[in-house]
Amino acid sequence: MFAPLSILSEYVEIEDPQYVADKLSISGTETTLKRFGTDIKNVKVGEILSIQKLENLNLCKVFLGDTAIDVITSASNVYVGAKVPVAVKGASLGSKTIDTKTFKGFESQGMLLSASELGLDDIEEGILILDNNVEVGKDVASLLDFGEYVLECEITPNRGDLLSIVGIAREISAITNKPFNLNIEKDLPEKIDIDISIDTKGCYRYVGSVVEDVSVKSSTLLLKKTLWKMGLKTISNVVDITNYVMMMLGQPLHAFDKDKIGSKIVIRQAKQKEKLIALDKKEYELDESIMVIANDKGPIALAGVIGGLDSSISHDTKNILLESALFDPIFVRKASKTLKLSTDASYRFERGIDIDMALKASFFALKLIEKEAGGKVIGYNEVIREALPVKRFFLPMNDYIRYTAINFEKEKISEIANKLGIPNKPMRCGIEFEAPSHRYYDIDSSIDLIEEIVRITDFNTFETDPLTLLPKPNDKKDYTYEIKNKLVANGLKEVINLSFDKIEDYEALGLEKPTIEIKNPILPSFRFLRRYLTPSMIRLADQNVKKHIYDFAIFEISDIFKEDSQSTHICILLRGHKRIYPKTKWNINHIKEIIKAINKDVMFGFSNLSFLHPYQQGSLKFDDKDIGFFGVLKSDILQDTIICEFEIPNKAKYREIKEISKYPPIVRDISLIMSIDFDVQKLIILIREFFGSMLENVLVFDFYKGEQIEEDKKSVGLRLSLRALDRSLEDEEVNVLIEKLLERLKEEGIELRFA
């Protein structure tokens, strides 16, 4: 959101721009102070005196106030008497310097400039035509207010009220203790009978206003440069006014060509497979989840998102219907996400606009249309389907003190609330307050008022006390940090996904569904806390592949949630090639190596998950407990992709701190024959239980099935490393232990294999 200081100053006094930017950042809205425009020098306003045709070029005689020069241009929109920006010899446009050039034997002593060459965005192609009343010879940088301070604000999703000049001015007023001056004229036009009906729960209020005999043309320079400062493209006077009002008040508007839409307007849900060609000239196929503005023939706009091309304003438009409405954020968000279409209007509706602004914004826009486009306001009609209830709350002072540790006077809290436009009434034991219309979707409880008071008071004013106790070590957090460092050092990249998931993804993978539902999801489909990390990792990988990124190795460490527990999981996804040259694909052994690098005591077992390749998957076990899975994704889900996910136990369970023995180990290799179905992991557990702390390590170094042993048997080679803490082990002692181990294994049907 770009907020020019010259416009903000109409509503609140700003003495020090950098101070204001810093205060906004501290209060929760990251703000950067910038200057508007590009660095141009020696660019002046010129008046075209004559035009001579040179085949596909125009030789223009341009008067600069004290002299006239010849300038050649290929633009076709120039005419005698036009006021245009002229870069004369020696002028600079950023890093570019203008010099004389020769075309077809004629010398061009400068350059006529388009809006884009000045770093501006205008729908009209060709040279930028300035207003007729502009003084010839005037410096263009000064004329366009280049160099003016602009606040660039990063607006968080919960602060839709700050997506307007008025909203930012109100915020500045509160944090700088300066008066906020808002005076929107309320001269009501006549109420007339316009056939408007609302047939959907997604629209609370709809205001339609009629203006006749308008003159649609290019906007005045004043309106154009105001929109340029706010980062918008200029189109025509009527459309520019709707955008200007949206930026000033935060209320999106839309203007229809009244003669193209008929006499009846209905706000409804789209019918299945209805189609609309929008202003971006793309055809959209709709479904019943998408809200539309329609006439007798079909949709003419996507409600809260974008207008239709067939009903749009053009230079031939004479009569307009101006729309100002209050749409439900969830309905607009659904349409925007379904159609993958985001606009300035949908961006505001999704975050929640001022619920009482529709009528005020209409009247404000109508006055501007009369001024800029002529015409006559015939009247308006307002249809209200449902009035939103007032949201009232009570903040006990004890709660404020409990949460902030500050004994604030309730009168002081009331004063700050008033600055923020929050209606309130101090009571004996606290404050009663309402969610104001501009913060209706944001303020939901007494805690929100506490947050506002603390935010405006400035966090830096709170006293800091040193900790009286040292923080308790967090082994799990430390170990997680170690894992991240190890994975990053080996070329993997960490990703962070949303903690919310779609239940449909779990159904597609055959995973146990999440059950913890969120009361206020950011998207209707993402309404469950994650039970696994795998669905979101696969979704992320699929998005990368669709963007032609085929080779990557990523991981995520995050919490997952069940009905009765919360635990930390790690998910690793390897896709495509490990190395491009020489070409080496990731394979299942790579992911097993990574798992073992994280913790060598994690064991591999069998699994039967429907979304993994039936012969390239397995379970992960730790302390004889299933903690996760690994395997190759089926190709119909995602090709050339390997994934694993498992729980990270506490560090204390992961590795116990042991005294290091100063005595040498004794290593024994044994080959064992067992049933082909016997789990090797179970074998290792038996050996660990037998030797206890004396067994330092056990490694599988050989696996054999074939002619030299029975058909239903397999041979497993193990390397045992034995070491005692208090003495050197003797060969004879170890031999006795190995004999006893073999006797124990015989009970399980396992025998020593002889060469």
Q: Is the pLDDT of residue 459 over 80?
A: no
End-to-end CA distance of the chain: give it in Å, rounded. Answer: 78
Q: Is the pLDDT of residue 186 over 70?
A: no
Q: Please, which residues bridge with residue 559 across strands? A: 568
pLDDT band at residue 657 under the 50/70/90 scheme: very low
Residue count of the chain, please give it. Answer: 755
Rounded mean pLDDT of 470-487? 77
Mean pLDDT of the chain: 89
Q: What local confidence, expressed as pLDDT, does residue 403 receive?
A: 81
Rounded mean pLDDT of 209-228? 93
Please state, in angstroms and rounded to a whole number, the distance separating the CA atoms of residues 26 and 20: 10
Rounded mean pLDDT of 613-638? 89
Q: What local confidence, expressed as pLDDT, does residue 650 receive?
A: 58
Q: Is the pLDDT of residue 374 over 50?
A: yes
Spatial strand order of the sheet with 713-722 comes to: 695-704, 713-722, 666-675, 751-752
Q: What local confidence, expressed as pLDDT, does residue 656 receive?
A: 47
Please state, in angstroms and rounded to a whole number, the distance separating the CA atoms of residues 312 and 169: 33
Q: What local confidence, expressed as pLDDT, does residue 652 receive?
A: 44
The residue behind tokens 């209707």 is 524
Rounded mean pLDDT of 350-364? 93
User: Residue 548: left if φ>0, alpha if ψ -120 to 50, beta else—which one?
Assistant: left
Q: Is the pLDDT of residue 705 over 60?
A: yes
Please state, in angstroms and rounded to a whole number, the distance separating the CA atoms of residues 246 and 207: 15
Reading the block at residue 407, the tokens are 């004994």
The residue behind tokens 């190759």 is 632
Q: What local confidence, expressed as pLDDT, does residue 740 receive?
A: 93
Q: Is the pLDDT of residue 473 over 80?
A: no
Q: Is the peptide bond before 389 cis (omega within 30 degrees of 0)?
A: no
Please state, in angstroms and rounded to a whole number, the distance separating the CA atoms of residues 352 and 504: 27
pLDDT band at residue 658 under the 50/70/90 scheme: low
Rounded mean pLDDT of 561-582? 87
Q: Is the pLDDT of residue 71 over 70?
A: yes
Find, among 234, 309, 154, the residue nearest to 244 by Cα: 234
Reading the block at residue 430, the tokens are 């606290």
Please state, in angstroms and rounded to a whole number, the distance separating the CA atoms of residues 559 and 673: 42
Check if the beta carbon of residue 93 is closer than 8 Å to that of residue 117.
yes
Q: What local confidence, expressed as pLDDT, does residue 457 receive?
A: 84
pLDDT band at residue 755 under the 50/70/90 scheme: low
Residue 673 CB neighbour total at 10 angstroms: 18
Q: What local confidence, expressed as pLDDT, does residue 467 receive?
A: 67
Q: Which residues of 571-589 are buried (b: 16+ CB within 10 A; e: fewer)?
A: bbbbbbbeeeeeeeebebe
pLDDT band at residue 103 under the 50/70/90 scheme: confident
pLDDT band at residue 481 under the 50/70/90 scheme: confident
Please state, in angstroms and rounded to a whole number, the distance separating the CA atoms of residues 530 and 538: 13
Q: Is the pLDDT of residue 596 over 90?
A: no
Please state, in angstroms and rounded to a whole number, the distance separating the CA atoms of residues 584 and 94: 47
Q: Is the pLDDT of residue 271 over 90?
A: yes
Q: What local confidence, expressed as pLDDT, does residue 104 receive?
A: 77
Kindly report, residue by residue over 278-303, the tens digit of the pLDDT.
999 999 999 999 999 999 899 999 99
Q: Which amino acid is at 152?
A: E
Q: Is the pLDDT of residue 651 over 60?
A: no
Kindly report, residue by residue over 625-636, the tens digit of the pLDDT.
889 999 999 999
Report all structural domains of the chain as residue ranges with CATH numbers, in order of start. 2-36+148-176 (3.30.56.10), 40-143 (2.40.50.140), 195-384 (3.50.40.10), 392-457 (3.30.56.10), 475-654 (3.30.930.10), 666-752 (3.30.70.380)
Q: What local confidence, expressed as pLDDT, does residue 123 receive?
A: 77
Q: Which residues neighbour 93 within 8 Å (Cβ) at sequence distance 6 or greater? A: 38, 40, 43, 87, 113, 117, 118
pTM of the model as a whole? 0.69
